[in-house]
Structure 1
Amino acid sequence: MNKKLFIIPLIVLSSFLACTSDKTATEETTVVKLSSPDFNADSAFAYTKAQVDFGPRIPSTEAHTNCLSYLVKKFKSFGGEVFVQQGAAKTYDSKNHQLKNIIAAFSPEKTQRVLITAHWDARPFSDKDSDPKMKDKPFDAANDGASGVAVMLEIARQIQQKQPNVGVDLILWDIEDYGNANDDSADETTWCIGSQYWVKNPPVKGYKPMYAINLDMVGGSNAQFTQDEVSRKYAPEIVQKVWSIGNEIGYSAYFVSDISPSLIDDHYWVNKAGIPCIDIIDYSANGVFYKNWHTQLDNLNNIDRNTLKAVGQTVLEVIFREKPAA
């Protein structure tokens, strides 16, 4: 074999590989400059676990009471001005409860404000479980409840360390998930009792943040957040803002452009209060919720830090890109 002829292809191949390697390295090291601080997914996971460790946070139970104290204490430790809105509530099974919406305000002196919400209660039974023996048993509600709360706790921790230009309000809704699975009324009023109560009994008269974002089931693996009809109807510009930023900073696999049907979630009632509100929720284009929804498998083992990161970083970035009032 002619050694010169052998060397030349090697040189060409080496040059090609070098160029390819450089290109890959360049692409991999391309980082979008964020306006927001780094959202810590490990921290959010720890907050999820802390809630789950209390047991299912079912209204009128010891676990619910203990978790309430924990959440109030955490928000206060992050510098929030905390208020617990309480009111009498009756669930569809004729049981009486004292609902407790947890409200935390950060930089209350700022007139421009963003509202972030999630529900903190757990459903009393896993009625969607495949095992008939488990359908009347409570479940951990790690994703359906605790994940959204955990993201908000980490957001609170971050904005204490670096304040955005706008004020931030956080509301944790109570008795959201105690609805009648067969509720076929127009507004499905057996669900979202805490947000309904807040709309009818506003703690601050005339409260009008620029917009609101509700978080629901934001910790499952391979989650996809579609654009539901209620969000698109009432707050199309906010949908565009959030999904565009999510895609820009690297989370296009989560914030997909798929259109999904209407659903009654807490964002529905916030919109009824005249505040444009969207829902970030694991909900498919054909109207199917997170795969472990209302089952025993909604537990800590099925919480994904990558999903918590995608949602938390996106929401933080949305907040921190807001400009101060002129």
Structure 2
Amino acid sequence: MITKRILTYCFLLFFIFFIACNKKANKIEPEPISPPATKPSIFSQVFTTSNSGLPDNFINDIEIVGAIKKIATNNGLALFDGTNWTILNTSNSSLPSNIVHFVKTNGLITWIATDNGLVSYDGASMIIYKSQNSPLPSNRIRSLEFDNAGKLWIGTFSGGGLVGFDGVTWEVFTPANSDLPNNSVSVIKKDTNGKLWLGTASGFSVFDGVTFTNFNPSNSSLPNPSVFSIVHDANNVAWIGTNGGLTRFDGVNWQNFTMQNSGLPLNLVHSITLKTTNEIYIGMAGQGLALFNYSNNTWTHYNTNNSNLPNNFITDVSIAIDNVVWIATENGIALKE
């Protein structure tokens, strides 16, 4: 009886040992994890607050005047000559707000659109225009442009409308006293004939100094009423960026490019810059940068997944005299040779 128990016990030990060895032999080792692939360095240089004199990574606008880059940020205005950075903010200058939306140079004067007034800067001193000391109807300035007569036109955020200023006289246009379609004027661009194209939240308007001619989704093929960007090529063909995609308008014919009918990655087009008559850089709010060749209908798309672009929200694109493309994002500036 004892011998039978011993044999049974030995058999159980052998069985347990066999199972343990079998599990060990059949154990599946995890696959080694490969390091993430390095993103292609499409952009030759990226400027942020950590590697340059930028005062803030949120870039609203870049104006290039010769070798000088004038960079509007959420923490002041940065001037960059290729080597040195000069920062103007509320701490070291008369700038009324650190939030700078737009910059426009006319001769020796830099006009600065801020969240708390309009600034005229001659390189040494500033003149501040506000609703408290001028007929300016709103202190939140969004866009600037000069007409052929040298008059400054000012687009304001909701409430102020369009303002003209020749250095002495102010003119204010709103939907209440004119045919301006909306009080929020996001962009002002002069065409080759000297007319002003005004992008608003209710479509765009072509203004000849007297008459507003309005275009919106109800009376035209404009796909969306929110207009953020307008540029004109040498033939006076307008390229218009809206929340409904990219639109080409030659004064008669309309052509819309969207996610649904083209290689445009996202319909939220907030910045357009012409590289040539047929090559268009398109900045989107959430899908990076697209380069569109109109002549052969090809699209090239750059974002944070397939390149070293620092952010997918593009606020402005400018091209320098050396043909380097400066891309303003919500997280720094990228340069493309």
**TM-score (norm. length: structure 1):** 0.31
Larger Cα-atom Rg: 2
**TM-score (norm. length: structure 2):** 0.30
The structure with the largest helix share of the pair is 1
The structure with the largest strand share of the pair is 2
Which of 1 and 2 has higher RCO (CA within 8 Å, sep 6+)? 1
